[in-house]
Structure 1
Amino acid sequence: MRLASEPFSYPASLREGQLASVMYTVFSGDLPINICWTKDGETISESNPDTAGILVNTVSGFTSTLFFKALRLEYRGNYTCVAQNDAGRASHSAVMVIHARPYVSKMPRQTRKLTLGCGFGSVNAGDDLDGFASVASPPLHSIMVMLSKAAAGDDVAASAIALPADS
């Protein structure tokens, strides 16, 4: 009997470091069924450095699950599961998108100049925001927290560039 399978998909909100799993199920077809996974055309195995850390678990010969202990950005890509038996083959592919964790690479201890760019719903492009153009203190973290608290419930985007005192 020819194989029929259930498509799989990934949540859109996957983030670096999270746990994740995805399951592929064959719901009709004659046994034995061989199931294998690929990422971007390469077979997933512990010996493949691009897929090390991704575990494959096949249960009862017709269900296979990929387990990710901690999502890494390198795991982004196109995953395909292929099921085969003597009567034919079934497969499904889905793209996994993983969002990077936000981070600050280096936070200066003191700043000589701090430039903030803010967007508010009631401010037109090109309008002058004197209060935010140049600020020497408080430290960047405190300003970002104040902006964050002040913007609760408002549509605000803020970015900051801090220059160390010795630059």
Structure 2
Amino acid sequence: MGIQCTVIKGDLPIEISWALNNQALTSGDWDVVIGRMSSKSSTLNIDYIAAEHRGIYTCRARNRAGESSYSAELKVNGDP
């Protein structure tokens, strides 16, 4: 599974970060791979989805002018 976070408008530099259930995520946490596509785009990939991956994923983009975020819930069938 992979999702992409892209900033449509905004001045560089832009910092893009990811969180799972309001806890910061870095590449390697929970078998998650985070990559940077460009200065305004980031991806989050999980090769094998498991019950522990369920939750609310948030992409947050910020620069000197402010910040914006988008969240989406990943639901996984199976035992937690």
**Common topology (TM > 0.5):** yes
Task: Extract unaligned runs of 5+ from structure 2.
Answer: none
Determine the structure 2 residue equivalent to 1:43. 24
Shift of 1:94: 0.7
Computed over aligned residues only, the root mean square deviation of the Cα atoms, in angstroms, reads: 1.6
2:5 to 24, 41, 56: 24
After TM superposition, the runs of 4+ consecutive aligned structure 1 residues lying more than 4 A away are none
Deviation of the 1:99 alpha carbon: 1.5
Instruction: Tell me the SS of whatever aligns to 1:23.
Output: strand
TM-score by length of 2: 0.90
Match of 1:82 in 2: 60
Pairing 1:93–2:71 present: yes
Letter in 2 for 1:93: S
2:12 paired with 1:34: no
Q: Is the 8 A contact 2:30 2:53 kept in 1?
A: no
Greater relative contact order structure (CA < 8 Å, 6+ sep): 2
Tell me what 1:57 maps to. 35
* Secondary structure of the corresponding residue to residue 70 of structure 1: coil
Using the aligned pairs only, state the percent identity: 33
* Secondary structure class of the residue paired with 1:78: strand
Structure holding more strand per residue: 2
* Equivalent AA in structure 1 for residue 68 of structure 2: A
The higher radius of gyration belongs to 1
Shift, 1:100, TM fit: 2.5
Please name the residue that 1:14 is paired with: none
Residue 52 of structure 1, CA deviation: 2.5
* Number of corresponding residues: 79
Shift of 1:46: 4.5
Cα distance in 2 between the residues matched to 1:23 and 1:76: 17
